[in-house]
Amino acid sequence: MRTNVVRTSLVLSCLAAFSLSAFSTLAGTPLSGEQAQSQSATAEAVTGDSLFRLDVQLETSDGRTVAFSSLRGRPLLISLFYSQCSSVCPMTIAELQNLERSVPAAVRENVTVLLISLDAERDTPATLTQFMQKHHIGGPRWMVVHTTASNVRLLSAALGVRYRELPDHTFNHSTVITLTDSEGVIQARADGWQAVDAGFIEKVRFIGAAKAVTGPDHG
Helix (H, G, I), strand (E, B) or coil at 206: helix
Strand 176-180: give its sheet, edge to edge. 3-4, 186-191, 176-180, 76-81, 112-117, 142-146, 57-60, 65-67
Task: Give me the domains of the chain, ranges plus CATH numbers.
Answer: 3-7+50-209 (3.40.30.10)
pTM of the full predicted structure?
Answer: 0.77
Average pLDDT value for residue range 45-71: 87
pLDDT tens across 150-168, in order?
Answer: 999 999 999 999 999 889 8
pLDDT tens across 123-135, in order?
Answer: 999 999 999 999 9
Please check the confidence at residue 33 and state whether its pLDDT lies above 60: no
- Picking from 46-55, 100-109, 110-119, which range would have the lowest pLDDT averaged per residue? 46-55
Residue 153 is which amino acid?
R
